[in-house]
Amino acid sequence: MSIKVQEFHKDYERWAWQINNNISYAEDIKMFKLDAKNTSYIFGATDDGYLIHGYFGKKIEDGDLTYLLRLEENPWTLKTNARDKGTFMDAHAFEYPCHGTGDYREPCLIVMDDDGMTTTDLRYVSHKVYGGKPKLEGMPATFAAENKAETLEITCVDKHTGLEAVLVYTAFNDLDVITRSVRLKNNGKAPLNVKRVLSACVDFDNDNYDFITLNGSWARERVMERCRLHHGKQSIDSVKGESSHQNNPFMALVSHNADEDSGEAYGFNFVYSGNFFAQAEVTQHKYTRAVMGINHFDFNWLLEPGEEFVAPEVVMVYSSEGIGAMSRTFHDLYREHLIRGEYKDKRRPILINNWEATYFNFDTDKLIGIAKEASKLGIEMLVMDDGWFGHRDSDNSSLGDWFVYEKKIKGGLKYLVDEVNKLGMKFGIWFEPEMISPDSELYKAHPDWAIQVKGREMTMSREQYVLDYSNKEVRDYVYGMMRNILDSANIEYIKWDMNRQLTEVGSTSLPKNRQRELWHRYVLGVYDLMNRLTTDYPHILLENCSGGGARFDPGMLYYSPQIWCSDDTDAIERLKIQHGTSICYPVSAMGAHVSDCPNHTVGRTTPFSTRGNVAMVGTFGYELDVTRIPQEDRDAIPGQIAEFNKYNPIIRTGDQYRIGNVFEDNMWDAWIFVAKDKSEAVFTFVQVLGRPNYRNRRIKLKGLDPNAVYKNSETGECHSGSALMNAGIFVSTHGDFSSKVIHFIKMS
C-alpha cells in the first residue's frame, strides 16, 4: 500500500489518501474511492458513522472530495444539532439506507427485533481492503483473480440489536464494473426477523434520467422499454419464484440524450434467479434513488443469534459512451467473470432438438432417423426433449419419474445413445428436475414433497406441481435419479427446463416461523443441485430453460453457459427478443435455433436463409424434423453450418454494436460484431418489410478501425473504416423478411 498526498483549498491543508490498486481511503476525512477502468464511485462516513454517497460516474482524480457528500447543506451531527436529525435523514444520499430513523425514501433494510420493532440504525465501524473477489456462499456471483479486481468490505453495526451488516464492494481493473452485496449477522442475544434486505442503493443528485427495463411475456421476453423518470416510484419485480418472463432483473438509468453511442448510462443487474425488486424513485428534492435486491414481498428470514444471511450480488456498470458501451461491458464481464466450465470459451455443438419436430410423438426409430439425416448435413448433436421418461405421452404425467419410458425408447437409453454416437454425433437429454406430476410414482410415494399449504387446494399449471427444493431430502432423491440416467449412457448435454411458477408457497419440512423463507430457500436449493451437477459432470454442456426465457438471468449463467432465449423461434420475433436480451447479456449465452415454417408460435413463413442468419447470433442449432422439411431447405443446412463455423469466433468473442432498432423501426434491423483487435467484422442486415422504390439502404457501420482499410469478402471492394462508419454502405435486399450477411477483413 502506498500513500499519496493531495493538496487542496487555498490554505493547502494536506490529506493523505491510502491508495491500493482500485480502492483509496482517506483516514482523516473517512472517504472511500473505488476506481474501475474509467469509473469512480465515492462515499464517506460522517463523524457519527452514517455512510453518505458522494459520486458515481466518470473517473475523477483524488483530492478533497468531501464536498461531494453535501454535508454543508445540512451540517447535522449528534454532537452539534440533534434537533434536526430528521431533516438530515430524509435529505441526504445514503449508501445503505435503513428504515425507521427518518429516511422516508425506499429503504434497503428492515429488521424486526424481538419486541416487534422495525427501526434499524446502522453505523460505520471498520473496513478492510483486499485483492480479488470473494465467493458468495451457496450463490452465484462474478469472480476475479487477485490482480483483476479489488474488494472493500465496510462493517456497520446497529448497537441496539447487535445486528452487523457487511457491505461488500468490488471494483474491476479493466472493466467499468462495480459489484455490491451484503452480509448480515446477528451478534445480539435475541432472534431477529429480516423483513427486507436489498443488495444495493445508489442515490443520484438529479432526476434527469430515462428508465430502461426489459419486460414482456411468454414468447416475447425482454422487450426493451424506455420511459422518462417522474416524481414517485417506478419499479419492476417478480413474485413468481423465478426472475420471470414478465420482468428481467435488469434496469438502467440513462441521460435523456443517451443513445447507442453517446450519453451516460448506469446499468444494474441482479445475479439471482428468484423474486427480485428493482426501483428508481424520484424524491421531493429531485434526486433519484435506485435500489435492487431480493423482493421483500412475502419475505421473512429468521436470524437467530450467531446466524448469517448473505444477500445476492448486484452488478453496476457505468458508461459515458452510450447504451452500447454499457452492453459491451456487461458482455465482457459475463463472458470472462461469470460463465465458467469447459464451454466458457468454446463454440457450442450444433444441435438438433426434436421438440418442434415431434413433440411427444417419437420413439427410438424416429430419433435415429432424424439423427441419420442430420449427421449427413453436418449437425453435431441430437437432443431428445420432453417425453422419454415415466409413461409420458403428453404433458399430464410422469414428471419426477426420471427413468426410461421403454415403450418409446426401445432397447433402452444406452442403445439409442450408442447408435447416435456411431453416426459421429453427440447426445443430449431434457430434464425438468424441479417439477412433479400428480400422475407419477414419485407423487404417489411423496405427496408431501410438493410445495403446498396444508388444507388448501393446490393450483396446477401444465398439470404439474413444484417440488420443495428447500428440502435436501427431495434434492438428494431427484439428483440420484438424474445420476442414474447420466451414468447409464454417454450423455454430453442437458436441457434443464422449468415450466411453471410457484403457488401456495409453503413447505411441509419447514417450521412455522421459517415458512416465508421458502421463496429464497427454493432458489438456493436449485443452485445447490446445479452446482452438484456441474461439479460431478464438468464435461456436460448445461443449457437452462424456463418455458423459454423466464429465467434468463446472470444467476443461471453462473451454472450454464447458455440459456434458451425464448420458445418463440420465429426469426422476425427473435429480432426484438435478441436485441432486448443483448442490452445486458452476451449473444454467446443465447440459445437460438432455426425452426420450421409456418412458425409454430406465430404462423409466419420466413426464408430459410434469414432463419439461419438470425439464429447465428446465438448458440445456433435446429428445431425441426430434418427428414420432412423441403429439399431446398435441407440442402441449405451444410452452407449455414459452414457460415456459422466461419463467423462464430467473431460473434462469440467480439464486440457487438447494434445499428438498427426494431423497437423503433419495424422495417429493418442491423447489427455488427467486430473482433477485439478490429481485424474482422460480421455485419447482418434484416429487412422486416419491403417497401416500393426503396430497395437500397445506406447503413453506417460501427466499431471499425477508422484508419484501416477493410475488404468486403462478398464483393472484393475495399473501403476505409472511416468511410464505412461515417458514409456507410448500400445494402440491397428484396422481399419481406430477407437478409444479408457481409464479412469484412482488415487489409491494413
Please list the active-site residues: 497, 567
User: What distance in Å separates the CA atoms of residue 75 and residue 659, rounded to the nearest whole number?
Assistant: 49
Query: Cβ distance 623 to 594 under 8 Å?
Result: yes
Cell of 4: 499519496
Query: Cβ distance 136 to 311 under 8 Å?
Result: no
User: What distance in Å separates the CA atoms of residue 69 and residue 24, rounded to the nearest whole number?
Assistant: 16
Give the ranges where 338-471 is alpha helix by DSSP (H): 355-358, 364-377, 413-422, 441-445
Residue 653 one-letter amino acid = T
User: Is the torsion defined by CA of 477, 479, 482, 483 positive or negative?
Assistant: negative
Sequence-distant contacts of 37-46: CB under 8 A, at least 24 apart:
37/172, 37/173, 37/174, 37/175, 37/176, 38/176, 38/318, 38/320, 39/171, 39/176, 39/177, 39/178, 39/318, 41/169, 41/171, 41/178, 41/316, 42/68, 43/69, 43/95, 44/69, 45/124, 46/71, 46/77
Query: Cβ distance 574 to 592 under 8 Å?
Result: yes
739, 313, 373: which is closest to 557 by C-alpha?
Answer: 313
Residue 388 one-letter amino acid = W
Look up residue 460 and give its DSSP letter: P
Burial of 246 (0-12, 13-18, 19+ CB in 10 A): middle
3-state helix, strand, coil in the chain (%, to 5): 20, 35, 45
The gap from C-alpha 141 to its chain's centroid, in whole angstroms, comes to 11
Report how far apart, in Å, the C-alpha atoms of 195 and of each of 109, 118, 336, 452, 746 are: 8, 9, 35, 22, 57
Cα Rg of the chain, angstroms: 27
- CB within 8 A of 697, min separation 6: which ones? 668, 685, 730, 731, 732
557, 28, 522, 555: which is closest to 249 by C-alpha?
Answer: 555
User: Is the torsion defined by CA of 363, 367, 368, 370 positive or negative?
Assistant: positive
Sheet of 13-19: strand order equals: 2-8, 13-19, 23-26, 31-35, 39-45, 51-58
59, 55, 63, 61: which is closest to 26 by C-alpha?
Answer: 63
